[in-house]
Structure 1
């Protein structure tokens, strides 16, 4: 599929909306005319999409237009056999609805190429705001091609456009030939007879109507080629051209130009009417400007992000204090001495931990994001952030799982598994483990907010964003196969239905019972038994190279670090227990506190996350994720320690 059209019609915007994370660029032969190409998934099919340079006209072929015409008819081999594309099977002409007439002149010329053609009637919203109303059905009938209204910068009509292009390829339906006026056809009859020979058709490989109009003018590329290939026919061609001019009121080239624009103007008048500027489209148009505007669309995305943060740190925190916190306090009164009692307490702790994940953080956040998806808002957020995610090798469709990860990484990984596959699923899953879930964020806010101030907390969260971006770029070298482009549909706004909301929420959270709960309880039992049999000192000794030598922390923090694998909130509680106080400032300086928080932020999220990764991306990549998170945590924590110590020495 090739995107063609005049300059400034929105071709590149459509290409960027559909393009993959790996775009190949090249130049047309012997020129500086650049093109971009990528693979795009359209339903179950895959197509090669090419964004060609602007095409001015086929009427008066300058060098640039001639090279584009040759590429449309025969493809482009590229330099060294790389970076090229085969002759397009389908042409998608991007038309500016606010300046329809000059675009229609090119449309009629493209109809001469004998290839399936689809018109993307772009900027239709701007046309309506200017009082320009276009009869899409009448335009489609007049040209014999499908016409799809689009608003490219908002992603509207993209899915329909590419599905229509795919159907045009399957049906092999070509446009209605746009012939010159009757007086020109009569005048060019003699020249047309000369071209009616197999040798000429075989030599040029272009549609007859295009060759006819090109040879009717002197000093064109086709005229020169005709003189080179068939010198014996040139006297007859020149005589036929002179005979045609004798029957016309002006020179032949001028008559062809005037006829072309007359037919475009007539078609424009046929399918367009002017009226009053369109009224505001109400709240839907207002929301689209908030979520999809090229400049202000980020405001809507940030509003959704703020809503998620409010849900995590206000609503979920309140629910936690009403549900799992009282249960944890009640279970905490049980201090068994026997091995059986310790196991029972560990099972209870595991179940309370499960409730602490599901009830306050998972269910409300998943329900919120499903509601935003069903209403059509999350599709718009995904479209806006798509280009940013391309920089780390992903599509904007993973925005929803990343937002879920702010509450809990477990449902985020399940959402990635449901919405992606292959390389994208693996890379997104690996990166989500670095998204600070509510548990890790709670530790950063509790300790960092108290001892580092808001600047330290902000610095840690900004560091997290930086590491995710850098890790995404580096992972492209491990998982080199780029994902094909994905056409993101922009559905109409809709009111979510409760029955569907609950069904989807259950579908995305049911894995917690079958996969996470057994491992969470088992991990709790194992760690409780280690503590029961006095293995704390052994664990701290084994972790001495990490805690004391590498991170510069007290040796007693080895156990809190290890138990944090079970659930991050345990780390906060056990830090206080290990140090014997909740006021840790006298025992840890600000550099140690910052180092410890950075390490916990990037360290393995929890055993629940690992359990889901085993199921969604397999054992090999799940183990790689553990190694990656441990390596990143150790590396970034050491770097922060060194830099902060140097900064502290300078103060």
Structure 2
């Protein structure tokens, strides 16, 4: 037996009070916001920095078992001659909202909540590396753990620029992670590295100025090397020295206010430094840092032939991971899956469940044991009709796409869209699986993710039209309402999922961590993994659906055999007649839908006494009834798997939401159609 792979658990876990605060910092256009969006939560906090500061956004992100608070700060180009807006960013990088006594107190809001960052993540544009390296040298003076995200690395290579990541990391003393944030590549590795740096608390290597600049600043350094200065500013000495040498207005004015005698000494020390240099001190300090960044750039990068990346993998990624075309590619994947499954299911159904159903229909027992036997046969035929033509081909095809790496790319592209209903793109596969059967879809959705996401996904998946409901819609709606009527019901389903997702997100907004979507390389599926995953996602059909289908068929058959169906029709009159405006005889098909939706169509014909439904129901009644069946309480099998995965409370909540939605939407549909008929 192959040993089970294990991974060491690094502790203590970074959660709760230990959760590190990570800020994304960098120049405008480097890709900060793209990385934030790639990992962000459906619930993002948007705030403004105090004073003249710009807007920032923040959310919690799960990284394995650890968590981080991720902050996307306003962009900053350099610490040289800071603008008022950049000055506020620097103050938050140094102190958070706990500004020292020298800071202007009126700029800090009383209810602000911005602790100082634990880790800095500088997002660097690999196509403009030299400019970003100067900012990296400046940020290293802050004395905080730091990681560099070397973004757009693929684009730099296509332009013929190759960057030695190992050398750059060694020279700066910080991890450097190549990324392509727009395509989600390297982002998972970046966040794993961030957590490791936060746990180790490793800081960048010192990046001192060149020798002649350092010698010229000895006198200035002696002036500020006092405990009083360090205590009141709480700034690394190297950064304070650099800012005073460049005549930073904020630090100079703060010293003039709190230490007036030192102001003359600083002026004298600066004049002595300038006497040793060919140009003014601020220009020399900045030019020296620029020169060191240029030398570092030359040491870590080289020009080679352009890497056009013209292979089939890169071509597929240009489609699947493009910000706009990726959605088109994802829709094409969904359409292809459904087309293939429908084509296969029609063929399989003709040779399996259709023939079995025709054979069972010939058995018309009169005795109670015979009725029970026929009910068991009906239940098993119904099971074959779900699993063989619809469920197995759909699940098998989705697993093949997952194992090949395609579905991970689809999940990355649709992630932001799913954020609008409080979920992540990883639930795209369970949602698509729900078109076959909601039972394995809910099992897949509740296998991973946070508790909040499992609850929201399980409830929303019950609204995805499974093969049984779709068969009813296409058979009855397509025949009597036409394509427009069927399309209207499917569009109403999408609208209900979107609105309900928003409402559930508000209900559970207190816990919505972000998740980093990994982008694995393309690979050929291994059949051992394919069959194992296929079985794990369909085993609930055997363990849960089969007994419930059989028991449900037996119960309903006995009710009909002993004449109890009339009682059911009378008890459901408030729903069928008063609210939905339907014949009283449709009470049994409505109840039947709770146990086995896939045979509701036959029950409708039996209850109305005719195969021509239009002879008894008008188009408004047909549309209303189909809307109710679409949103009505999920079948008993779906309720059972929800109960097992989420517990009694959430299972009953899901059933209540489904019933309430069915009553409200079908009632509104009836009202709107009746009003429109009267107006015509």
TM-score of the superposed pair, with normalisation by structure 1: 0.97
Measured in 2, the distance between the counterparts of 1:628 and 1:204 equals: 56
Give CA deviations for 1:43-67 in whole Å, capped at 9, x if unaligned.
Answer: 1111111110001211222211221
Pairing 1:339-354 to 2, within 5 Å after superposition: 339-354=368-383
- The residue number in structure 2 matching 1:45 is 66
Deviation at 1:281, TM superposition (A): 3.6
3-state SS, counterpart of residue 419 of structure 1? coil
- The residue number in structure 1 matching 2:637 is 608
Pairing 1:438-477 to 2, within 5 Å after superposition: 438-477=467-506
Match of residue 505, structure 1, among 527, 534, 537: 534
Q: CA RMSD in A?
A: 1.6
Deviation at 1:105, TM superposition (A): 0.6
Assess if the C-alpha contact under 8 Å between 2:386 and 2:467 holds in 1: no
Assess if the C-alpha contact under 8 Å between 2:51 and 2:88 holds in 1: no
Deviation at 1:511, TM superposition (A): 2.0
Deviation at 1:82, TM superposition (A): 4.6
Match of residue 302, structure 2, among 260, 273, 295: 273
Measured in 2, the distance between the counterparts of 1:83 and 1:417 equals: 36
- The residue number in structure 2 matching 1:178 is 207
Assess if the C-alpha contact under 8 Å between 2:141 and 2:207 holds in 1: yes
- The residue number in structure 2 matching 1:29 is 50
Assess if the C-alpha contact under 8 Å between 1:327 and 1:352 holds in 2: yes
Pair 1:71-2:71 in alignment? no
Q: Which runs of 4+ in 1 moved over 4 A?
A: 77-83
3-state SS, counterpart of residue 49 of structure 1? strand
Pair 1:20-2:49 in alignment? no
3-state SS, counterpart of residue 147 of structure 2? strand
3-state SS, counterpart of residue 67 of structure 2? strand
3-state SS, counterpart of residue 594 of structure 2? coil
Pairing 1:310-325 to 2, within 5 Å after superposition: 310-325=339-354
> Unpaired runs of 5+ in structure 1?
none
Give CA deviations for 1:218-256 in whole Å, capped at 9, x if unaligned.
Answer: 352111112222222222221111111011111111111
Pairing 1:379-528 to 2, within 5 Å after superposition: 379-528=408-557
Measured in 2, the distance between the counterparts of 1:280 and 1:478 equals: 46
- The residue number in structure 1 matching 2:5 is none
Deviation at 1:81, TM superposition (A): 5.3
Assess if the C-alpha contact under 8 Å between 1:312 and 1:406 holds in 2: no
- The residue number in structure 1 matching 2:606 is 577
Measured in 2, the distance between the counterparts of 1:478 and 1:333 equals: 52
3-state SS, counterpart of residue 115 of structure 1? coil
Pairing 1:492-641 to 2, within 5 Å after superposition: 492-641=521-670
1:30/1:123 Cα in 2 relative to 1: closer, same or farther (>3 Å)? same
Pair 1:226-2:255 in alignment? yes
Pair 1:262-2:291 in alignment? yes
Give CA deviations for 1:411-460 in whole Å, capped at 9, x if unaligned.
Answer: 10110121224111111101110001111111111111122121111111
Measured in 1, the distance between the counterparts of 2:274 and 2:95 equals: 33
Give CA deviations for 1:292-317 in whole Å, capped at 9, x if unaligned.
Answer: 10110001110121123224422223
Measured in 2, the distance between the counterparts of 1:280 and 1:538 equals: 71
Measured in 1, the distance between the counterparts of 2:289 and 2:127 equals: 20
3-state SS, counterpart of residue 420 of structure 1? coil
- The residue number in structure 2 matching 1:97 is 126
TM-score of the superposed pair, with normalisation by structure 2: 0.93
Assess if the C-alpha contact under 8 Å between 1:567 and 1:606 holds in 2: yes
Deviation at 1:275, TM superposition (A): 2.8
Measured in 2, the distance between the counterparts of 1:119 and 1:56 equals: 15
Moved more, 309-318 or 397-406: 309-318
- The residue number in structure 1 matching 2:13 is none
Pair 1:236-2:257 in alignment? no
3-state SS, counterpart of residue 319 of structure 1? helix
Pair 1:643-2:672 in alignment? yes
Give CA deviations for 1:526-566 in whole Å, capped at 9, x if unaligned.
Answer: 11110000112222222222112211112222212211222
Measured in 2, the distance between the counterparts of 1:311 and 1:348 equals: 29
Measured in 2, the distance between the counterparts of 1:80 and 1:238 equals: 34
1:80/1:65 Cα in 2 relative to 1: closer, same or farther (>3 Å)? closer
Measured in 2, the distance between the counterparts of 1:624 and 1:257 equals: 63
Moved more, 547-556 or 573-582: 573-582
3-state SS, counterpart of residue 418 of structure 1? coil
Measured in 1, the distance between the counterparts of 2:204 and 2:213 equals: 21
Moved more, 487-496 or 447-456: 447-456
Assess if the C-alpha contact under 8 Å between 1:123 and 1:151 holds in 2: yes
Pair 1:160-2:181 in alignment? no
Measured in 2, the distance between the counterparts of 1:88 and 1:219 equals: 23
- The residue number in structure 1 matching 2:78 is 57
Assess if the C-alpha contact under 8 Å between 1:40 and 1:484 holds in 2: yes
Pair 1:2-2:31 in alignment? no
1:327/1:548 Cα in 2 relative to 1: closer, same or farther (>3 Å)? same
Assess if the C-alpha contact under 8 Å between 2:39 and 2:515 holds in 1: yes
Deviation at 1:628, TM superposition (A): 1.4
Assess if the C-alpha contact under 8 Å between 1:91 and 1:118 holds in 2: yes
1:467/1:322 Cα in 2 relative to 1: closer, same or farther (>3 Å)? same
- The residue number in structure 1 matching 2:180 is 151
Deviation at 1:2, TM superposition (A): 0.5
Pair 1:294-2:323 in alignment? yes
Measured in 1, the distance between the counterparts of 2:537 and 2:553 equals: 24
Pairing 1:317-336 to 2, within 5 Å after superposition: 317-336=346-365
Measured in 2, the distance between the counterparts of 1:396 and 1:81 equals: 37
